[in-house]
Amino acid sequence: MGSEQTISMMQILAILRKHIKMILGTTFVVTLAVGFVTFFVMAPKYESTTQLLVNRKLSADMQAAQLQQTQADVQMINTYKDIITSPTVLKTVNRQVSNYPGYPGSMNALKDDIKISSQQNSQVFSVTVKTTDPYTSASVANLTAKVFKKKVGKIMSVNNVSIVSPASIEKNPVSPRKTLNLLAGLVVGLLLGIGFAFIREITDTTVTSEDYLTDTLGLTALGIVNEIDQDDVKKRIYNKQKLYGTSPRRV
């Protein structure tokens, strides 16, 4: 069992050594293609985040129910998320940012660029906007928070919405992740090269050794015909003609 595993591993290594140029070439080409797309095709994107707090105030005679109210506010965050990404809020935002650089092109595209997140058991939730312009990302995030603060009061009679942390301009792009993309291209290229090497080896039906004919196929070897280079043939004919004093003929 151990011997078979050793032979199998040796065969694999032999195949890899045999096709090492193709493996390295495939790895280089794929990595180069990924690098080109990452640096010259994919547009960098920038994120900005603003944080909101919705805390409904209770009257003095209902202060005992404050804990229950806090839990209810936490559960209402999912509702607030739906309101933020609804046409009620986004129509106003979309109208005001349609001429901004990096504008995604439509209200639906703008909705896809807005992400709402929250921590468990927290009344604070975040509005994160990702566009191709850092100033637009910050502007859209802040504008979305302001429009939501204005609209939610009319929709749900909530009048205590606080912007905990306004969005700031982040000039470092969050995507594409250049190093990660290059490493992924390197790995994919290497795997493709190895795969091509094994496919080429499996589909190659050329007989390369006399042992294969005699040992594997059980045939009798009558002789071996070596391949002679054309330049070597011309050289031998020329030397022979020169030796016997005949005129060299064109081959």
Rounded to an integer, what distance in angstroms lies between the CA atom of residue 227 and that of residue 67?
A: 92
70 confidence band (pLDDT: 50, 70, 90) = low
Residue 51: strand pairing partners = 126, 165
Lookup: tokens for 239:
């030397």
Alpha carbon of 106 to those of 94, 97, 99, 102: distances in Å?
A: 8, 10, 11, 12
What is the pTM (predicted TM-score) of this model? 0.67
Rounded to an integer, what distance in angstroms lies between the CA atom of residue 225 and that of residue 148?
A: 86
The phi, psi pair for 178, rounded to 5°, reads -60, -50
Rounded to an integer, what distance in angstroms lies between the CA atom of residue 87 and that of residue 122?
A: 26
pLDDT tops 80 at residue 31: yes
pLDDT at res. 14? 87
The DSSP H or E segment spanning 126 is strand 124-131
pLDDT tens digits, 181-235: 999 999 999 999 999 998 988 887 776 666 766 766 677 767 677 776 777 777 7
35 confidence band (pLDDT: 50, 70, 90) = very high
pLDDT tops 50 at residue 113: yes
Please report the domains of the chain, with CATH numbers, ordered by start residue. 9-41+178-203 (no CATH), 45-175 (3.30.70.1130), 210-243 (no CATH)
pLDDT tops 50 at residue 1: no
SS3 115: strand
